[in-house]
Amino acid sequence: DGGITQSPKYLFRKEGQNVTLSCEQNLNHDAMYWYRQDPGQGLRLIYYSQIVNDFQKGDIAEGYSVSREKKESFPLTVTSAQKNPTAFYLCATRTFLGNQPQHFGDGTRLSIL
């Protein structure tokens, strides 16, 4: 979606390495989310944040960390504790005005070297 930028598009991680995925938005949306999608499977929620300096764990937060220091930015760090990080990572945003849907960035594909 326009206004949500994820980078990089492709990322390779070495064993024992932490990597950070970027998600930036200029939509002035309140909430930001990180999902993981494995081949042939649905989206699983990792973390979400409704306001700056606050975030909540989703269903599969172990091995991941996030921060929300600015409204526009919600980076996701995949730590070495995440033993199976290979997946498609999607960032989404949403405004709280009305029952609005989420909008997605174009994703980051993470693989293990």
Partner 1 sequence: RKEVEQDPGPFNVPEGATVAFNCTYSNSASQSFFWYRQDCRKEPKLLMSVYSSGNEDGRFTAQLNRASQYISLLIRDSKLSDSATYLCVVTQNTGNQFYFGTGTSLTVIP
The residues that touch partner 1, with contacts defined as CB under 8 A, are 1, 31, 33, 35, 41-43, 45, 48, 50, 88, 90, 92, 99, 101-107
| Pick 43 or 79: Cβ nearer partner 1 | 43
Q: Which class for 27: exposed (0-12), middle (13-18), buried (19 or more C-beta within 10 A)?
A: middle
49: tokens are: 């944040």
Beta carbon of residue 92, minimum distance to partner 1 (angstroms, whole number): 8
Please tell me the number of Cα atoms within 13 Å of 11 on its side-chain side. 23
Beta carbon of residue 66, minimum distance to partner 1 (angstroms, whole number): 16
Please tell me the number of Cα atoms within 13 Å of 68 on its side-chain side. 20
| Pick 79 or 86: Cβ nearer partner 1 | 86
Residue type, 89: Y
Beta carbon of residue 13, minimum distance to partner 1 (angstroms, whole number): 19
